[in-house]
Structure 1
Amino acid sequence: MSFDIMEENKKHTVAGLFSGCGGLDLGFIQAGFEVVWANDFFKEAVDTYKQNIGNHIVLGDITKIPSSEIPNDFDILLGGFPCQGFSIANIKRSMKDERNFLYKEMLRIIKDKQPKYFVAENVKGLLSMQKGKVIEMIISDFQEIGYDVDYKLMKASEYGVPQHRERVVIIGNRLGLNNPFPKKTHGSEKGLQPFVTTKEAVGFLADVRIRDKKFDLNGTTILNHKARTNVHDEFWGRKHKVNQHDICDYLKEWRTKSGWSTKRVDEHFGYAHTAGHWFRKDNNSGSIPNPSDWWELKKLLGFDDKYDKQVTELELKPITFEQSLRINNWDAPSDTITATGPEIHPNKERRMSVRECAIIQTFPMDFEFVGSLGNMYKQIGNAVPVLMAKRIAEGIKKELDNQQYNDQQRNRRVREQVLK
């Protein structure tokens, strides 16, 4: 076999940080890449990865793994760096949260290994944290080590994933190539395919009894169709009845007195638009501040004690279906599959099963999760949807294939000139 043919058949290689159970890595594998090394410190996720993808994943804390123990000469570094500190679901998010700086481990590996491309993924809240300063800092850090960088907020449902999951994707390269983001294929706009609904994706399991062991269903082996059955639970809710319209009028009056604008309040709290809903009651889109935000708002606006008790006194209350049934959009893409716990199934008899959550995250049917039930849910909720990862990978592969072809043509011309 000639050298040229060998080069043309060579797969592009990938290394992964914070790989979890492997959603991002698997998407790249499906697009034709070879993963040569991966890492995570969540043992059960690593066990799942090994069982389904390969033994090249290393269990350990990346902050304690020197670059010398990581292979050289891979083409792409992937990294869904931990997002708890950045998440808009974390009201205590702060630049002081050490998890926010784990992306610097990714920066270290990129600087030391010089991959052609890198792909990083994080939650939507990253864009608004510290009024946009966090994303600016991250982009600047990657640019300083010689990479052209672009980022985009991607919605998984627009690429065929049956889930309205939004994630920030950052792509960088050092070759002067494009940082390709996939074009939308699904949506309500003309020329696009319709969104894939939750029912289309997992409806076939709706009336199938959950069980711990695998089983056959119409010729298909069903794995991990197990689920929590606690459809009633408790949560901390307000002890007293509160009228949002009354609170809205009250807060607007005190905001006017104080001279604070809604935008300034948002900036103070580090929110994108949340605070604006405290001063809005049209279309039932308003909201009431949670207790910690209420006390902080009181410091800013200086309002009296009229509603303090009603807003801030909490008690344990039973969860009703309407409050916890996040997948009530059976005929639309699912809401985001989270790591903290599965939503109640529309049949209201159980939670979504591990397999149903995995399907919504576009894991293959033969992908088997290991660990406790809670850990399985966590692995799936933390993962990048496999299909979205594949779409990202396909664009990068095209760029690298073109670059490789151009290099081969140039080398061939040089050899021909030498032979003359």
Structure 2
Amino acid sequence: MAVLDLFCGAGGLSAGFDQAGYDVVGGVDHEDAFAETFEHNHDAQFVEADLSKVTGEAILAELGYDPGDLDGVIGGPPCQGFSLAGAKTNPADERNFLVTNFVKSVYEIDPDWFVMENVPRITTMEDGQVLEYLLDQFAEIGYDTEWTVLNAADYGVPQSRRRAFFVGHKTGEAFEFPEAAFRESRDQQTLFADRRPPRTVQNAFGDLPSLAPGEEKTTYTADPEGEYQTEMRADGTELTNHRAPNHGETVTGRIEKTAPGEKIPYDSWSQKRRLEFGEPAPTLLAGPRPTYHFAHPTDDRGLSVRERARLQSFPDDYLFVGPIAKQRQMTGNAVPPLLGRAVAEAIAEQTVPA
């Protein structure tokens, strides 16, 4: 099935659909900084476009398709600043372009089905009225839509990351989201005995070489241990994106005094913490600067981009290109490929396309 990724970023959702056997024909984003990373990792064209100013027909024409040609549209439009009042009374309000223009683009591209990913808050904004509005909008353009909130940890990602997913289709048959296969934490051993143990930070990057602040290494020094590390290294021969942030003594001193699993002592930056090997990581953040959010469990430093990518389930042959701040943004904002793959496989199994 041929799909187009809107608001593609680095291509995490595309990677999941690739792994599930789909044909990702293109990625669209308004930031050209994502182009090299997307095109390096996908046999697909990157289209730099602002979907508030460019029609879906124009995007299709650039890729060599007509409306109705593609099986699916996927994407994760940010919802920062979305206002239901603005969406209804002032569609030109820039805060509303990102979400409402996903709806508009789906209508213009006319696929058999779509997948929209977003933060869970979109389902509760304005006491649920935003959710009702979006479902009504999708219904008006011809799609029955199911939604739920999924945790990436349930699908083998070594990170607790909750995201809302909307799947719309024209078949009139209800869509069933994939069942969880892993526990979210070790504390759930009794409650979810039928699920596999959670994948942890140790599973994520315990095989990657130790780094000092500012140090980079390009070769593996240990064999992969376990299923997850073996999968991440399956097609990679050279270690890439494994450079530690270049901290000063003040920062390394703060990290050194912090036990694994604890918050790092800052007056602000309350989300900075030192990871522990025995549990999945908390939700990875993007951040506007080349700083760090999580510290390594044993090295007194922040994470490398490769370690961040491992927490998101990007395989090691997935190369991130560009300034370090952009690489952190790309890894922090991405849909974990394994989560995307689980949704993609559920669509394929249920033959959602009309």
Same fold (TM over 0.5): yes
In 1, Cα distance between equivalents of 2:209 and 2:274? 13
Q: Pick from 223, 230, 233 the counterpart of residue 247 of structure 2.
A: 230
Match of 1:346 in 2: 297
Deviation at 1:330, TM superposition (A): 2.6
Cα displacement string for residues 104-161 of structure 1 (whole angstroms, at most 9, x for unaligned residues)? 2221222122211100011122122111111111111101111111110111101110
2:5 alignment partner AA: G
Match of 2:199 in 1: 196
Superposition pairs for residues 113-262 of structure 1, below 5 Å?
Answer: 113-187=109-183, 188=188, 189-205=192-208, 207-209=210-212, 211-212=215-216, 214-218=218-222, 220-230=237-247, 232=250
1:399 alignment partner AA: Q
Cα displacement string for residues 308-364 of structure 1 (whole angstroms, at most 9, x for unaligned residues)? xxxxxxxxxx72799554343431110011111431222351111100000110001
Are residues 200 and 104 of structure 1, via their aligned partners in 2, closer, same or farther at CA, if it must alter by over 3 Å? same
SS in 1 for 2:166: strand
In 1, Cα distance between equivalents of 2:267 and 2:56? 50
Q: How many residues align?
A: 303
Structure 2 residues without counterparts, runs of 5 or longer: 87-92, 224-236, 252-264
**Contact conserved, 1:227 with 1:350, CA < 8 A, in 2?**
yes
2:240 alignment partner AA: L
Are residues 228 and 197 of structure 1, via their aligned partners in 2, closer, same or farther at CA, if it must alter by over 3 Å? same
In 2, Cα distance between equivalents of 1:118 and 1:214? 39
Match of 1:387 in 2: 338
Cα displacement string for residues 50-82 of structure 1 (whole angstroms, at most 9, x for unaligned residues)? 111134111121222223221331001001002
**Contact conserved, 1:223 with 1:368, CA < 8 A, in 2?**
yes
Cα displacement string for residues 178-224 of structure 1 (whole angstroms, at most 9, x for unaligned residues)? 32311000113111001101111112226245645633434742110
In 1, Cα distance between equivalents of 2:182 and 2:210? 28
In 2, Cα distance between equivalents of 1:357 and 1:202? 9
Are residues 203 and 155 of structure 1, via their aligned partners in 2, closer, same or farther at CA, if it must alter by over 3 Å? same
1:326 alignment partner AA: R
Are residues 218 and 321 of structure 1, via their aligned partners in 2, closer, same or farther at CA, if it must alter by over 3 Å? farther
**Contact conserved, 2:209 with 2:221, CA < 8 A, in 1?**
no
**Contact conserved, 1:344 with 1:350, CA < 8 A, in 2?**
yes
**Contact conserved, 1:85 with 1:94, CA < 8 A, in 2?**
no
SS in 2 for 1:16: strand
**Contact conserved, 1:82 with 1:99, CA < 8 A, in 2?**
no
Residue 47 (structure 1) aligned with residue 64 (structure 2): no
TM-score of the pair, normalised by structure 2: 0.78
**Contact conserved, 1:229 with 1:349, CA < 8 A, in 2?**
no
TM-score of the pair, normalised by structure 1: 0.67
Match of 1:276 in 2: none
SS in 2 for 1:136: helix
**Contact conserved, 1:23 with 1:385, CA < 8 A, in 2?**
yes
**Contact conserved, 1:327 with 1:335, CA < 8 A, in 2?**
no
Superposition pairs for residues 252-291 of structure 1, below 5 Å?
Answer: none
Q: Pick from 43, 46, 49 the counterpart of residue 57 of structure 1.
A: 46
**Contact conserved, 1:182 with 1:391, CA < 8 A, in 2?**
yes
In 2, Cα distance between equivalents of 1:331 and 1:229? 26
Are residues 322 and 142 of structure 1, via their aligned partners in 2, closer, same or farther at CA, if it must alter by over 3 Å? closer
In 2, Cα distance between equivalents of 1:95 and 1:375? 33
SS in 1 for 2:17: helix
**Contact conserved, 1:82 with 1:100, CA < 8 A, in 2?**
no
Q: Pick from 375, 378, 381 the counterpart of residue 326 of structure 2.
A: 375
Structure 1 residues without counterparts, runs of 5 or longer: 1-11, 87-92, 234-317, 405-420
Q: Pick from 78, 83, 93 the counterpart of residue 82 of structure 1.
A: 78
1:215 alignment partner AA: T
Match of 1:362 in 2: 313
Cα displacement string for residues 379-410 of structure 1 (whole angstroms, at most 9, x for unaligned residues)? 01110000000000001011228x78xxxxxx
2:110 alignment partner AA: Q
Deviation at 1:226, TM superposition (A): 1.5
Structure with bigger gyration radius? 1
Match of 1:410 in 2: none
In 2, Cα distance between equivalents of 1:136 and 1:175? 21
In 2, Cα distance between equivalents of 1:365 and 1:396? 26
SS in 2 for 1:190: coil
In 2, Cα distance between equivalents of 1:212 and 1:94? 47
Q: What is the alpha-carbon root mean square deviation over aligned residues?
A: 2.6
2:35 alignment partner AA: V
Q: Pick from 259, 266, 270 the counterpart of residue 319 of structure 1.
A: 266
Cα displacement string for residues 360-386 of structure 1 (whole angstroms, at most 9, x for unaligned residues)? 100011111011111100001110000
Match of 1:312 in 2: none
Residue 328 (structure 1) aligned with residue 275 (structure 2): yes
> Aligned residues: percent identity?
34
Are residues 396 and 154 of structure 1, via their aligned partners in 2, closer, same or farther at CA, if it must alter by over 3 Å? same
1:166 alignment partner AA: R
**Contact conserved, 2:209 with 2:222, CA < 8 A, in 1?**
no
Are residues 143 and 336 of structure 1, via their aligned partners in 2, closer, same or farther at CA, if it must alter by over 3 Å? same
